């Protein structure tokens, strides 16, 4: 292994600019003559707009234009779309209500877009917004999913009289019912998967620009997938033809899913740029981000697990209500369905599974993918059930898992997924060893002597990443393919640019991708640059989400490198006067088999371009190759996290004392970056488990609309992590990579709650397990002990 | 932020003169509450009177006999790190070190915090427990009379805090249970003993701001020991309820924090 090759913990190349404040984020981009947009947002969760009077506001200083839904409609600008069709169990298509970029007659959540004010300065735009008179007819709002589906509930979209988007299901109901009928033990559980606000460090932003000379638009925006943004803005919303619309996603400061989607604000900025004849900038402030970024999770679930007399899992049934908010966001329909239920088998051999999911409209912000997207929700259901089933049957939770793990691969689950490879017991055994599971009893006793409660919780998670085979997702309703593209451009002196359809917004692609190239071409890592995030530079690509950039994005680069090497061999053959079949390529040198004749990669690149050594009719000059990689299967990262907590029963404060993570990500390119992803993921998962929760009051006002009330995890809430790896290389891509970006956020929540429930001695602790919630649970435990 | 007129002054007298001429003017000390509120357009003073150039006269810590004088413009960081405060009233230095984050502590001032009287601020509990006196450009006000309600004080329009005088107690401690999200005090309890006088004050919990916990004071006056608090609990009536803590939990935490504070004050 070279110091900068595959497997080396190379320091991140991009960090020089990030930590010295030299990054170029969307808000750093200023176009000549730029104006500023401010969005007037609905203060009501549900209201009809009787009248909207902008006359006085339009006369305010600095105001260039004010646009409303009428203007959008007059220009025939289409609404925002949901790109994944889900069918209900009766075969009917999901009920997608219209989603105009600016409200047309009705607002459906607090923060919904009523009008945009474009002015010389942001302050002037905001001043003018206060002069717009909106006559609302306030309607009753509904924020609770159970209330929303009741007869007589306020109707949010006319297309769905009962506020239900779909009643979807997956699995074999009859087989599952039969399994339950013969079960010796049934574990039942009601749980809430709490609603989260994504909160990337950089809020969303957009700069729309229009060049009349070429009749073309440019949109700079905080996107995880600029090509998909262009596709949607062009083909569905109708801003401009693709060749007249350039989308640039420059440095992006975190996404966690929330920047996958195509929102109203960037749509309006790019559309308005032409109308006002000025570049238009919008940068979300944190308050707007709370109100209008797509939120995550928000499930209500009833789940049951059936065991036979030996404690073997024989059936699982799950009924989930998923809150999709007031409108269907770009991929929202798929998150609680195909990204959720197919993972309900977890790491376990469960022969019969049946899941029902009701997608529900409420008067809240749209809900869509957030780090893990469906898979954390599935893991939470499975790992809480498994833990409780073990406790109810008086079996050690680790032994219970070992007994029920899938042991042979490939394994077809009853819910779509074909797990290709894994070794679940190896991860569990390693995690038990690293966490000193054996001696937990002694540590519990030591805590008890100090008046503290100690608990340990296991989470054996699995996720489906590397999304995904295009044909497979197409058959499930996806509106796009999920391949990835790459182009490797070798310059005449042998330096390399890689143009990737993946997008880096914190993942470190500029380093890991360059490691792969450096390794395979045998050239210094500094000779490799990674280009991404610009639809004018990079060929069509699909972007970054679902832990796919390694498994899918790098596989495309790998394939393109194969082609570069193959072409290089042909050039080298001419230079070395040998046959191309006799050329070997290793460590940056092309050599003739069995001889000492060789030529280095840089010289071959130069020869490819000067084209003196060969006839251009026999071999094309140049050294540049592209590839599209469509995976053959999902990848299945899996692992075991063990959380150990100590609780102060007097205050309810939970302190995470130890964290052990053993993950199987397949082959690892940069262990340091992978470990960083694990740390960050756990941080977000602990945030969900202990602190974070978005709450609306009954009228639909977001109570947790700032960091004053929305509790983000801080460094001192988190422990030092003990991270280990096991490895079963993924067979479905040439690098053996499975993906690591979401694992921590998927694994962590049940590990924390299993540990807390172990400590307090009963199961009724919901997320977020705040000091208040844990104190109550601990009080109940004390009371119950006293009663015994 | 709306437009406002900005004034910079180098003395309390000039500040006060300007304030009397501008009814909607606000004094700007550290600005840790005022500026974010203005940015969110929740406050729109017609003028800001910036006291930061008057820091030379309005900031500083002095020991005078059995009292510590802290100038209104003294930053939390300076109180936390003052040798004099650490020696005489370590509980006060501890408290200052628990306010906000390092940026806030380097910018925020004791005068600003006290004048704002945020119901979840830390300082009001210390002033009330230590029986401090608030000096203004017009008069002296005891802490008992100063804190009059939620974000309300005895300060009159144009009246400016110049310093706060703390009598040195024989024992004192502050225990803070921070709100998990904001890290303001969800319940903060300051206990102080000076001679026979014992005070127990609570911040963060009361629906009308900082208050004295009479039952706790009476019990500890008999004997300043944690055992005196056995069986004593706060009542939930009049306490805040929100998503982070309901009134019953806050009442419970008052007891826990009070016991921990007494133990700490007693060196345990």
Of A595, A629, A663, the position where a domain reaches its end is A629
Chain A residues in contact with B177 (beta carbon < 8 A): 651, 771
Of A601, A629, A657, the position where a domain reaches its end is A629
User: Rounded to whole angstroms, what are the CA distances from A327 to A81, A109, A227, A482, B262?
Assistant: 9, 9, 23, 24, 54
Residue by residue, DSSP assigns A86-97 as -B-TTSPBP---
- The DSSP bridge partners found for residue A313 are A307
Joined together, the tokens standing for residue A755 give 């540990």
Count other Cβ atoms within 10 Å, centred on residue A531. Answer: 14
A509 and A404, same domain (yes or no)? no
Residue A18, in any domain of the structure: no
Interatomic CA distance for residues A582 and A592, integer angstroms? 6
pLDDT at A781: 78
A431 and A458, same domain (yes or no)? yes
- The DSSP bridge partners found for residue B141 are B134
What interhelical angle do A397-404 and A375-392 show, nearest 10? 110
Residues B217-257: tens digit of each pLDDT: 999 999 999 999 999 999 999 999 999 999 999 999 999 99
Q: Is the pLDDT of residue A1 over 70?
A: no
Query: What share of chain A in percent tops pLDDT 90?
Result: 97
Going A662 to A663 to A666 to A670, the CA torsion angle's sign is negative
pLDDT at A450: 96
Most distant CA pair in chain A: distance in Å? 93
A361 and A423, same domain (yes or no)? yes
User: Rounded to whole angstroms, what are the CA distances from A430 to A423, A426, A509, A639, A662?
Assistant: 11, 6, 29, 10, 7
Joined together, the tokens standing for residue A517 give 């190239």
pLDDT at A785: 73
pLDDT at B55: 86
Q: Is the pLDDT of residue A621 over 90?
A: yes
Interatomic CA distance for residues A734 and A730, integer angstroms? 8
pLDDT at A318: 98
Interatomic CA distance for residues A376 and A382, integer angstroms? 10
- Tell if the CB–CB gap between B182 and A707 is shorter than 8 Å: yes
Contacts of A509 (CB under 8 A, 6+ apart): A500, A502, A503, A530, A532, A544, A549, A553
| Residue in this structure with the two tokens 């009476």, named with its chain if needed | B218
Interatomic CA distance for residues A146 and A190, integer angstroms? 14
Residue A5, in any domain of the structure: no
Q: Is the pLDDT of residue A786 over 80?
A: no
Its ipTM equals: 0.95
Residue A156, in any domain of the structure: no
- Tell if the CB–CB gap between A693 and B243 is shorter than 8 Å: yes
Residue A196, in any domain of the structure: no
User: Rounded to whole angstroms, what are the CA distances from A542 to A226, A255, A367, A535, A630?
Assistant: 8, 15, 21, 11, 11
A668 and A523, same domain (yes or no)? no
- The DSSP bridge partners found for residue A295 are A367
Residue A394, in any domain of the structure: yes
| Chain A residue whose CA is closest to B187 | A651
pLDDT at A148: 98
Joined together, the tokens standing for residue A419 give 């797990």
Is the CB of residue A651 less than 8 Å away from at least one CB of chain B? Answer: yes
Strand A63-68 relative to strand A35-41: parallel, antiparallel, unpaired? unpaired
| Confidence label for A782 from pLDDT (cuts 50, 70 and 90) | confident
pLDDT at A783: 78
Query: What share of chain A in percent tops pLDDT 70?
Result: 100
A648 and A622, same domain (yes or no)? no
Interface list for chain B against chain A, based on CB atoms closer than 8 Å? 1-2, 40-41, 177, 180-182, 242-246, 249, 252-253, 256
Helix (H) or strand (E) holding A685: helix A671-686
Chain A residues in contact with B98 (beta carbon < 8 A): none
Strand A47-53 relative to strand A133-138: parallel, antiparallel, unpaired? antiparallel
Joined together, the tokens standing for residue A193 give 């998967």
B contact test, residue of A650, A655, A703, A773 with most B CBs within 10 A: A650
| Chain A residue whose CA is closest to B184 | A708
Is the CB of residue A701 less than 8 Å away from at least one CB of chain B? Answer: no
Residue A186, in any domain of the structure: no
Instruction: Give me the number of domains chain A comprises.
Output: 3
- Pick from A693, A704, A772: CB nearest B246: A772
pLDDT at A492: 97
E strands, A471-526, where? 484-490, 496-500
- Tell if the CB–CB gap between A711 and B252 is shorter than 8 Å: no
CB A739 within 8 A of CB A462: no
Q: Is the pLDDT of residue A266 over 70?
A: yes
Interatomic CA distance for residues B129 and B123, integer angstroms? 10
- Pick from B181, B243, B253: CB nearest A651: B253
Q: Which of B54, B59, B64 is nearest to B77 (CA)?
A: B59
CATH code, domain carrying A571: 3.30.365.10
Of A276, A292, A308, the position where a domain reaches its end is A292
- Tell if the CB–CB gap between A123 and B1 is shorter than 8 Å: yes
Strand A35-41 relative to strand A280-283: parallel, antiparallel, unpaired? parallel
- Tell if the CB–CB gap between A650 and B256 is shorter than 8 Å: yes
User: Rounded to whole angstroms, what are the CA distances from A641 to A45, A49, A434, A659, A679?
Assistant: 40, 50, 11, 7, 12
- Tell if the CB–CB gap between B243 and A704 is shorter than 8 Å: yes
Q: Is the pLDDT of residue A780 over 90?
A: no
Residue A75, in any domain of the structure: yes
Residues A489-503: tens digit of each pLDDT: 999 999 999 999 999
- Burial status of residue A3 (CB atoms within 10 A of its CB: 0-12, 13-18, 19 or more): exposed
A223 and A311, same domain (yes or no)? no
| Confidence label for A720 from pLDDT (cuts 50, 70 and 90) | very high
Mean residue pLDDT of chain A comes to 97
A281 and A308, same domain (yes or no)? no
A317 and A429, same domain (yes or no)? yes
- Tell if the CB–CB gap between B180 and A709 is shorter than 8 Å: no
- Tell if the CB–CB gap between B243 and A123 is shorter than 8 Å: no
Residue A120, domain extent: 31-139+201-254+259-292
- Tell if the CB–CB gap between A709 and B244 is shorter than 8 Å: yes
Helix (H) or strand (E) holding A136: strand A133-138
Q: Is the pLDDT of residue A788 over 80?
A: no
Shortest distance between the Cα of B171 and any Cα of chain A, in A, equals: 24
B18: region left, alpha or beta (phi > 0 left; psi from -120 to 50 alpha): alpha
pLDDT at A771: 98
**Alpha-helix runs per DSSP H in A161-250:** 173-181, 226-231
A677 and A777, same domain (yes or no)? yes
b/e code A442-476 from CB counts within 10 Å (16+ = b)? ebbeebeeeebbbbbbbbbbbbbbbbbbbebbeeb
Residues A343-392: tens digit of each pLDDT: 999 999 999 999 999 999 999 999 999 999 999 999 999 999 999 999 99
Q: Is the pLDDT of residue A784 over 80?
A: no
| Confidence label for B268 from pLDDT (cuts 50, 70 and 90) | confident
Residue A417, in any domain of the structure: yes
| Confidence label for B56 from pLDDT (cuts 50, 70 and 90) | confident
A378 and A408, same domain (yes or no)? yes
User: Rounded to whole angstroms, what are the CA distances from A352 to A75, A87, A172, A488, A722?
Assistant: 52, 22, 7, 46, 35
Lowest mean pLDDT among A3-12, A139-148, A688-697, A774-783: A774-783
Residues A88-136: tens digit of each pLDDT: 999 999 999 999 999 999 999 999 999 999 999 999 999 999 999 999 9
CATH code, domain carrying A108: 3.90.1170.50
Joined together, the tokens standing for residue B51 give 């006291």
- Tell if the CB–CB gap between A126 and B182 is shorter than 8 Å: no
Domains of chain B in sequence order? 1-50 (3.30.43.10), 171-265 (3.30.390.50)
A461 and A513, same domain (yes or no)? no
Is the CB of residue A771 less than 8 Å away from at least one CB of chain B? Answer: yes
A612 and A638, same domain (yes or no)? no
CB A623 within 8 A of CB A568: yes
Helix (H) or strand (E) holding A647: strand A638-648
Contacts of B48 (CB under 8 A, 6+ apart): B4, B5, B6, B7, B25, B26, B27, B28, B34
């Amino acid at each position: 292994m070279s110091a900068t090759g595959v497997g080396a913990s190379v320091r991140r190349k991009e960090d020089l600019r990030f930590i010295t404040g030299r990054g170029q984020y969307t808000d750093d981009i200023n176009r000549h003559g730029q104006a500023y947009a401010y969005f007037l947002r609905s203060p009501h969760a549900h209201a009809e707009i009787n009248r909207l009077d902008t006359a006085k506001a339009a006369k305010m200083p600095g105001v260039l234009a004010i646009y409303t839904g009428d203007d959008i409609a007059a220009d025939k600008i289409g609404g925002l779309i949901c790109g994944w069709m889900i069918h209900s169990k009766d075969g009917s298509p999901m009920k997608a209500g219209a989603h105009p970029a600016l409200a047309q007659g009705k607002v459906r959540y607090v923060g919904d877009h009523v009008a945009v004010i474009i002015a010389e300065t942001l302050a002037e735009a905001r001043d003018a917004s206060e002069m717009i008179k909106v006559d609302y007819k306030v309607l009753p709002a509904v924020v609770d999913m159970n209330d929303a589906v009741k007869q007589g509930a306020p109707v949010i979209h006319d297309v769905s009289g009962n506020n239900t988007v779909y009643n979807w299901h997956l699995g074999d109901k009859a087989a599952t019912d039969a399994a339950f009928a013969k079960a010796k033990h049934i574990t039942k559980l009601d749980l809430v998967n709490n609603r989260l606000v994504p909160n990337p460090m950089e809020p969303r932003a957009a700069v729309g620009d229009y060049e009349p000379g070429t009749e073309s638009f440019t949109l700079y925006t905080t996107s995880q997938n600029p090509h998909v943004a262009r596709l949607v803005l062009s083909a569905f919303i109708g801003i401009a033809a693709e060749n007249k619309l350039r989308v640039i996603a420059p440095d992006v400061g975190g996404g966690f899913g929330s920047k996958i989607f195509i929102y109203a604000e960037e749509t309006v900025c790019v559309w308005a740029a032409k109308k006002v004849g000025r570049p238009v900038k919008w940068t979300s402030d944190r308050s707007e981000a709370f109100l209008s970024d797509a939120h995550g999770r928000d499930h209500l679930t009833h789940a049951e697990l059936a065991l036979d007399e030996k404690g073997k899992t024989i059936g699982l049934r799950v009924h989930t209500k998923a809150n999709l908010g007031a409108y269907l966001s770009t991929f929202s329909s798929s998150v609680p369905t195909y990204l959720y239920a197919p993972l309900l088998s977890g790491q376990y051999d469960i022969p019969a599974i049946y899941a029902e999911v009701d997608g529900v409209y409420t008067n809240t912000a749209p809900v869509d993918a957030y780090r893990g997207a469906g898979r954390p929700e599935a893991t939470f259901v499975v790992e809480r059930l498994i833990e409780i089933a073990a406790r109810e049957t008086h079996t050690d939770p680790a032994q219970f898992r070992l007994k029920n793990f899938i042991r042979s691969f490939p394994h077809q689950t009853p819910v779509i997924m074909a797990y290709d490879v894994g070794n679940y017991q190896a991860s569990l055994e390693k995690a038990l060893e690293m966490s000193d599971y054996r001696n937990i009893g002694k540590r519990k006793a030591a805590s008890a002597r100090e008046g503290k409660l100690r608990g340990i919780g296991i989470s054996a998670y699995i996720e489906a990443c590397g999304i995904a085979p295009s044909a497979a997702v197409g058959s499930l309703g996806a509106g796009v393919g999920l391949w990835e593209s790459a182009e490797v451009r070798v310059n005449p002196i042998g330096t390399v640019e890689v143009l990737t359809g993946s997008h880096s917004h914190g993942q470190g692609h500029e380093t890991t991708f360059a490691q792969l190239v450096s390794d395979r071409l045998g050239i210094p890592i500094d000779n490799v640059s990674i280009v991404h995030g610009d639809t004018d530079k990079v060929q069509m690509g699909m972007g970054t989400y679902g832990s796919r950039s390694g498994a899918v994005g790098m596989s495309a680069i790998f394939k393109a490198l194969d082609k570069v090497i193959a072409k290089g061999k042909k050039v080298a053959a001419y230079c070395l006067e040998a046959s191309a079949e006799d050329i070997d390529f290793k460590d940056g040198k092309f050599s003739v088999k069995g001889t000492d004749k060789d030529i280095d990669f840089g010289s071959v690149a130069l020869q490819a371009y000067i084209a003196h050594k060969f006839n251009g009719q026999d071999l094309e000059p140049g050294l540049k190759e592209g590839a599209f990689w469509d995976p053959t299967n999902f990848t299945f990262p899996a692992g075991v996290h063990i959380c150990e907590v100590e609780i102060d029963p007097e205050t309810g404060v939970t302190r995470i004392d130890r964290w052990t993570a053993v993950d199987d990500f397949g082959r690892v390119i940069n262990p340091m970056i992978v470990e960083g992803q694990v740390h960050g993921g756990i941080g977000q998962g602990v945030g969900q488990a202990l602190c974070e929760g978005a709450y609306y009051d009954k009228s639909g006002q977001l109570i947790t609309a700032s960091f004053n009330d929305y509790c983000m995890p801080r460094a001192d809430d988190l422990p030092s992590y003990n991270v280990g790896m096991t490895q079963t290389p993924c067979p479905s891509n040439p690098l053996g990579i499975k993906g690591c970006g979401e694992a921590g956020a998927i694994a962590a929540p049940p590990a924390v709650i299993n540990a807390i429930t172990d400590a307090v001695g009963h199961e009724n602790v919901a997320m977020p397990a705040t000091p208040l919630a844990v104190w109550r649970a601990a009080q109940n435990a004390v009371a119950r002990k006293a009663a015994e | 932020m709306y437009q406002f007129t900005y004034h910079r002054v180098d003395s309390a007298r000039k500040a006060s003169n300007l304030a009397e001429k501008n009814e909607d003017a606000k004094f700007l000390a550290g600005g840790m509450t005022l500026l974010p509120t203005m940015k969110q357009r929740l406050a729109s003073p017609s003028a800001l009177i910036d006291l930061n150039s008057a820091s030379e006269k309005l900031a500083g810590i002095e020991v005078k006999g059995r009292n510590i004088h802290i100038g209104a413009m003294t930053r939390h960081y300076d109180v936390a790190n003052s040798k004099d405060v650490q020696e005489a009233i370590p509980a006060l230095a501890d408290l200052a070190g628990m306010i906000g984050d390092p940026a806030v502590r380097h910018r925020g001032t004791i005068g600003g915090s006290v004048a704002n009287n945020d119901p979840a601020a830390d300082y009001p509990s210390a002033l009330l427990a230590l029986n401090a006196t608030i000096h203004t450009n017009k008069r002296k006000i005891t802490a008992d009379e100063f804190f009059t309600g939620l974000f309300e004080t005895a300060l009159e329009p144009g009246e400016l805090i110049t310093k706060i005088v703390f009598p040195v107690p024989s024992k004192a401690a502050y225990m803070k249970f921070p709100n998990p999200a904001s890290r303001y005090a969800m319940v903060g309890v300051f206990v102080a003993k000076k001679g026979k006088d014992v005070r127990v004050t609570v911040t963060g919990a009361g629906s009308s701001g900082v208050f004295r916990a009479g039952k706790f004071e009476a019990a500890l006056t008999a004997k300043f020991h944690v055992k005196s608090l056995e069986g004593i609990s706060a009542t939930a009536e009049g306490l805040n309820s929100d998503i982070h803590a309901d009134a019953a939990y806050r009442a419970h935490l008052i007891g826990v924090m009070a016991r921990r504070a007494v133990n700490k004050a007693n060196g345990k």
